[in-house]
Chain A
Amino acid sequence: MQTMREPTYFTLAALLDGPLHGYAITKRAEAVSDGRVRLTAGTLYAALDRLLGQGLVEVDGEEVVDGRARRYYRLTPSGRRALAAEAARLADAAAVVVTRMSQAPEPAA
Chain B
Amino acid sequence: MTAAERAYRLALRAYPADYRRERGCEILATLAELQGGRTAPDVRELGGLVAAGMSERGRRVSGGGRAGMWAEGCALGALLLLLLAATASAYALTWDLWYARLGMRWPIADYSPTPLAAPGLARVLAATLLPLAAAFAICRGRRLVALVALAAPLAATALYLSGVVGFAGAAGYQSWTPGQSWLENAYRLGTATFLAAPAALLWVGGRTDGRPAMRRSLGWLALPAVLAIMHLAYWATTVTFWPLGILVLAWFLAGRWSPHLAVAAFGVAVPVLVFILPTALGAPEYEYAVAVASGAAVLALASLISALAFAPGTELDRPPV
B285, CB-defined interface residue at 8 Å? no
A88 to B147, CA, bound (A): 48
A46, CB-defined interface residue at 8 Å? yes
Q: A69-B26, A70-B26 are in contact. Are A41 and B45 (CB under 8 A)?
A: yes
A68, CB-defined interface residue at 8 Å? yes
Q: Which residues of B are interface residues toward A (Cβ below 8 A)?
A: 23, 25-27, 29-34, 44-45, 47-53, 55-56
A22 to B45, CA, bound (A): 14
Provide 27 A-B residue pairs closer than 8 Å at the C-beta atoms, listed in order of the A residue.
Answer: A22-B26, A22-B29, A22-B30, A23-B29, A23-B30, A26-B30, A40-B47, A40-B48, A40-B52, A41-B27, A41-B45, A42-B45, A42-B47, A42-B49, A42-B50, A42-B52, A43-B48, A44-B30, A45-B23, A45-B30, A68-B25, A68-B29, A68-B32, A69-B25, A69-B26, A70-B29, A71-B26
Name the distance in Å between B14's Cβ and chain A's nearest Cβ: 9
Residues of A within 8 A of B44 (CB): 40
Q: Which of B44, B45, B51, B52 has the largest number of chain A CB atoms within 10 A? A: B52
Of chain A, the residue at the smallest CB distance from B25 is: A69
A-B contact count (CB 8 A): 54
Number of interface residues of A (CB under 8 A): 16
Of A46, A68, A69, the residue contacting B55 (CB under 8 A) is A46
A12 to B62, CA, bound (A): 27
Name the distance in Å between A20's Cβ and chain B's nearest Cβ: 11
